[in-house]
Structure 1
């Protein structure tokens, strides 16, 4: 077994490896992680008999003299990827994770978020580690729109029918600024700030190829959307990245209608629909209208140095933990 730093020439091979594994996602690819302003990008790979069997694409953030390996903004998966056949071997999983962590550059803190496909919480013999269980919601294919509606409560079905009678329809949109504007408005309505500036948002959008790994939909009575969504997807899963509703246009159910048809769009392509943001109670309450199945993500936080553990205690009291 050889652990090595991958070079840019290896990046296409890495992306192919990620997309071929059940634990891999768009969030683990160079397309998503490379050249992000949040940190310095690198990939560690593990080869066995010349074959890539595991790896970790990561960012190292340098701030206040601290070196933190942590996920960038709007990233719900950030952990090593292992070949599918290894996930049923707990000892092998542990050894590979430890080998990758050992070969990381010196760091003060490490923050990993494992995907739902990780069968068990990895038991790693690291000191000063905290574990966290995060929640996500999913809907699985195969399902038709009719079978989905049968899952919903009578009230949700009633609201969808009302939206249709009001003339609300969904359609593709091509301007990402619409998604940004409505998602920022929705966050402001709920007392939160958009995590990205418009410039940062557009820079992320430029990483996508519309029709290949991202889709944007709007819903409204005219071509002025009352709701909009941006979803990224890979071979197996569709992830809504940004979703927003126009709160200034009176009472309407365009958001519910659009989310329903976004789910239908995913399931008709035989992809899982993964509701990002399920750890925020207000958002989760909206997601529950679609009767998803709850599943867990495991997060691991390793405060390696005494300095960052001490600083983290202070910043956590201010609501801004360092890791």
Structure 2
């Protein structure tokens, strides 16, 4: 088995990546990132046949060579083409592939590696065995196969009350194509939390990637003033809650929840089967997502740094290193 670097114009590889991978391994999504940073890799089996792939985002910080995820991309896109074999052979093959990837990064000249795997990747032993630190993160996923009534009934009583009260108070929620408005509300949220916003990349997602057939946005208004927004992308059977925004100067406790509820209902109306909140390790955001009754799913990150950087990171990012 081996790993080879490919580009976006590799037709055979991307026909498979877009068939078996997620929305984050489509050419339209990856085309938003500069080729000088985005590196895409093809996994070849022992018969030199395409078996899967993954990517990373290469950044040079002064003299540090780092491999991260592209901005607003939740994982490294890892996918494998399904194989018709026994469960034991399946697990053995997957372990062999992840060992190959772990060895691939060990042999690279790097200062820091921090990459997340998709939520279906639960066997992270090869990274652990190769001295990567494996850290769990979490997301919530709602099954849209249930009825609206069943989905709403799974919400916490507090979240259901917030939504009902918001509607009673006159909160209105409408689908929007005004991505400038969505951007403004997202910016307010980042500003309120003192978080850095990559406005250039966000603009590309909202204005270049977004199409009626791959995404949707909802805005909640109170007294005709926009107060909350939810932006989702979708691919095949899954919707992803990618961005949210909230104007705390005109706040209403149920505005954000109403917006998300309409996004969930819309995703179901499109025939999608899952609504993925894309998770958060911020306690108050996690609690907000949890109240929507989705299934808690772990997502694993593997991290490694050269010794002196790891020592420093143990003090400033103890939960990661």
Aligned partners of 1:95 and 1:46: how far apart in 2?
11
1:65-86 deviation line (CA, Å, top 9, x unaligned): 2222211222211153212338
Aligned partners of 1:117 and 1:213: how far apart in 2?
22
In the alignment, what sits opposite 1:291? Answer: 293
In the alignment, what sits opposite 2:76? Answer: 78
TM-score w.r.t. the length of structure 2 is: 0.85
In the alignment, what sits opposite 1:167? Answer: 170
Instruction: Tell whether the 8 Å contact from 2:239 to 2:275 is kept in structure 1 after alignment.
Output: yes
In the alignment, what sits opposite 1:300? Answer: 302
- The CA deviation at 1:102 is 4.4
- The CA deviation at 1:311 is 2.1
> Which segments of 5 or more consecutive residues in structure 1 lack a partner in the other structure?
none
Task: Describe the shift of the 1:176–1:185 C-alpha distance in structure 2 as closer, same or farther (beyond 3 A).
Answer: same
- The CA deviation at 1:210 is 1.5
| Root mean square deviation, CA, Å | 2.9
Instruction: Tell whether the 8 Å contact from 1:160 to 1:253 is kept in structure 2 after alignment.
Output: yes
Task: Describe the shift of the 1:152–1:322 C-alpha distance in structure 2 as closer, same or farther (beyond 3 A).
Answer: closer
Task: Describe the shift of the 1:291–1:17 C-alpha distance in structure 2 as closer, same or farther (beyond 3 A).
Answer: same
- The CA deviation at 1:163 is 1.8
Task: Describe the shift of the 1:8–1:254 C-alpha distance in structure 2 as closer, same or farther (beyond 3 A).
Answer: closer
In the alignment, what sits opposite 2:259? Answer: 258
Task: Describe the shift of the 1:313–1:181 C-alpha distance in structure 2 as closer, same or farther (beyond 3 A).
Answer: farther
Instruction: Tell whether the 8 Å contact from 2:22 to 2:77 is kept in structure 1 after alignment.
Output: no
Instruction: Tell whether the 8 Å contact from 1:312 to 1:321 is kept in structure 2 after alignment.
Output: no
Aligned partners of 2:248 and 2:219: how far apart in 1?
15
Task: Describe the shift of the 1:157–1:103 C-alpha distance in structure 2 as closer, same or farther (beyond 3 A).
Answer: closer
TM-score w.r.t. the length of structure 1 is: 0.84
Aligned partners of 1:124 and 1:159: how far apart in 2?
43
> Number of paired residues?
314
In the alignment, what sits opposite 1:111? Answer: 114
Task: Describe the shift of the 1:177–1:65 C-alpha distance in structure 2 as closer, same or farther (beyond 3 A).
Answer: same
In the alignment, what sits opposite 2:308? Answer: 310
- The CA deviation at 1:187 is 3.2
